[in-house]
Amino acid sequence: MDGFPLQHFQCLLKDLATICKTRVRSTSAPELEFDRVTLPTHLQRRVNRLQGLATGP
């Protein structure tokens, strides 16, 4: 279905848990900071789309 392998719900949750947001701050300019989010896999993007969530590229 959709080209993705069938998997247990717990496995899907573990896969989705690998998406993380990190706050990055420069040591030379502490006022410079931004959030960096890991790029989702194809499966993570598909799940997010099905849930109506915004996803990265």
> 13-41 pLDDT, tens per residue?
998 899 899 999 989 998 999 999 999 99
Q: Quote the pLDDT of residue 56.
A: 59
pTM of the model: 0.64
- Residue 1 domain-assigned (yes or no): no
**Number of domains within the chain:** 1
Please give the mean pLDDT across all residues of the chain.
Answer: 86
How far is it between the farthest Cα atoms of the chain?
50
Quote the tokens at residue 3.
Answer: 């080209």
Q: Quote the pLDDT of residue 55.
A: 58
Q: Which domain holds residue 25?
A: 9-51
Give the whole-angstrom CA distance, residue 40 versus residue 30: 28
Q: Quote the pLDDT of residue 46.
A: 87
- Residue 27 domain-assigned (yes or no): yes
Calculate the dihedral angle through the C-alpha atoms of 4, 9, 12, 18, rounding to the nearest 10 degrees: 180
Q: Quote the pLDDT of residue 6.
A: 83
